[in-house]
Structure 1
Amino acid sequence: MFTEALLFDLDGTLTDSDPIHMIAFVEIGRRYGVAIDEAIFREHISGQSNRLICRNLFGHVDPALWDGIADAKEARFREMIVGKLTPIPGLVGFLARERARGAGCAVVSNAPRANVVAMLAALGLTKDFDAIVLGSELPRSKPDPLPYLTALETLGVPANRAVAFEDAVPGLLAAARSGVATVGLTTSLDGEAILATGAHLAIPDYDAPELQPFVDAALGRPAAVTSIG
């Protein structure tokens, strides 16, 4: 279907949505006697599947209620994002250039589908992605590489012709384990922590001057020829 692909996590990678997620988790945590601060958010929530989050934070609650807790939190999150999401700087231009070159693009996320649809619409990016692959709909979610392997299969692209973009440890591990060249956004982690996961490049945003040369090299594109005279 495509000869090369760009695979993007959503939260913290297409948009800096973690502050809104944290507020929603603080609210739902308070209902069940769980105090959530930034350290807990980073360790037990960021990049994790909702099932694992509930197991870690709401283990004192009947597991039969976990799906309802997660659904309530996500519904609150979707209420809160209206008019508040913006793309990571440089993302829109980067996507436009890459799509003009024929790259296939996919969202690869642990988020529920309702969140992904709402967030892409809020960002004006719905038409920029050829596939949405969700760990919540697969037998295994990030940090297992299955979501990334599934995205590659969906787009018909081998791992050595793809680049992944992530911001949190579970996703960075999943992408690196899939054999895909991996770029980490420093929205959640510093550069040292990103590279420690096996990622190949850490950038603050999509305007980073080192990004395009890295992507071109990772995808095996011919080097630009500079004319003389």
Structure 2
Amino acid sequence: MLNALLFDLDGTLTDTDALHLLALQQLLQEEEGRVFSEAEFTTHVSGQANANMCRYLFPERSLVHHEAFAERKEQRFRQLSPQLQPMPGLLRLLDFAQEHGIAVCVVTNAPRANAEHMLRVLGLSQRFACVLVAEELPRAKPDPLPYLSGLECLGARADEALAFEDSVPGLTAAVGAGICTFGLSTSQPPQTLLDAGAHRVIEDFNDPQLWAEIHRRLDVR
């Protein structure tokens, strides 16, 4: 059975890690004179909610400072991303889901303003039944709650769903919710994704491994 597809946003629907890294590097250099490396971003920031990011960057500073910095960082990201491209094969998959009555939603640690901005730029604002923003829930990824909430929103069980993630926190959340999850190798090495629980690692949504799983579940030839 396949009744639901649940998608992360950053690094999954579109490849944005380089832009998030650039936004952070610019702000930390301008405000702190701090050099921030890609390796540090990959290890400590990619896929994390802003609250976790700020606790890592500024462990000694207040929540007020964290919230203000996170907002400046996301504003900078939106300025840097007036155009984005959907991941290869994404539109094909969304069209297939619509044709076969498979419900789709977004489950993201990004703030609401970013999610709306990215979906609008991608031309996907009307394609998803719901957009679940983890910071509007009691717990963000890597807790499974955002994905459990996504299943509830779509009226689906975990065993009749597939999820798509590119980060360790996201995979931890989706796998923890009991969902068979494909890791996209946009921001992490394939072995890192497999170690985090990915069912398979794919390059994009055209990957034959993904379509074999979809056809197996639907018994489509």
Query: Structure 1 length as normaliser, TM-score?
Result: 0.92
Code of the aligned partner of 1:41 = F
> Aligned Cα RMSD in Å?
1.3
Deviations 1:116-159 (A, max 9, x none): 00000101111111111111111111000000000000110000
The residue matched to 2:107 in structure 1 has which SS?
A: strand
Alignment partners' CA distance in 2, 1:12 and 1:34: 25
Between the aligned residues of both structures, percent identity stands at 44
Equivalent position of 1:227 in the other structure = none
Contact 1:34/1:57 (8 A) holds in 2: no
Equivalent position of 1:51 in the other structure = 51
Contact 2:164/2:183 (8 A) holds in 1: yes
Alignment partners' CA distance in 2, 1:215 and 1:58: 43
Alignment partners' CA distance in 2, 1:146 and 1:107: 14
Q: CA deviation at 1:33?
A: 4.2
Answer with 1 or 2: which has the greater Rg: 1
Code of the aligned partner of 1:54 = C
The residue matched to 1:127 in structure 2 has which SS?
A: coil
Equivalent position of 2:34 in the other structure = 34
Please say if 1:98 is aligned against 2:97: yes
Alignment partners' CA distance in 2, 1:32 and 1:17: 24
Q: CA deviation at 1:223?
A: 4.9
Q: CA deviation at 1:100?
A: 1.1
Please say if 1:222 is aligned against 2:213: no
Please say if 1:78 is aligned against 2:54: no
Alignment partners' CA distance in 1, 2:56 and 2:143: 18
Contact 2:162/2:182 (8 A) holds in 1: yes
Please say if 1:158 is aligned against 2:130: no
Q: Unmatched 5+ residue regions in structure 1?
A: 225-229
Contact 1:191/1:202 (8 A) holds in 2: yes
- Report the more deviating stretch, 169-178 or 54-63: 54-63
Alignment partners' CA distance in 2, 1:147 and 1:33: 35
Equivalent position of 1:121 in the other structure = 120
Code of the aligned partner of 1:55 = R
Alignment partners' CA distance in 1, 2:93 and 2:179: 19
- Report the more deviating stretch, 8-17 or 188-197: 188-197
Q: CA deviation at 1:213?
A: 1.3
Query: Structure 2 length as normaliser, TM-score?
Result: 0.95
The residue matched to 1:128 in structure 2 has which SS?
A: coil
Alignment partners' CA distance in 2, 1:98 and 1:212: 12
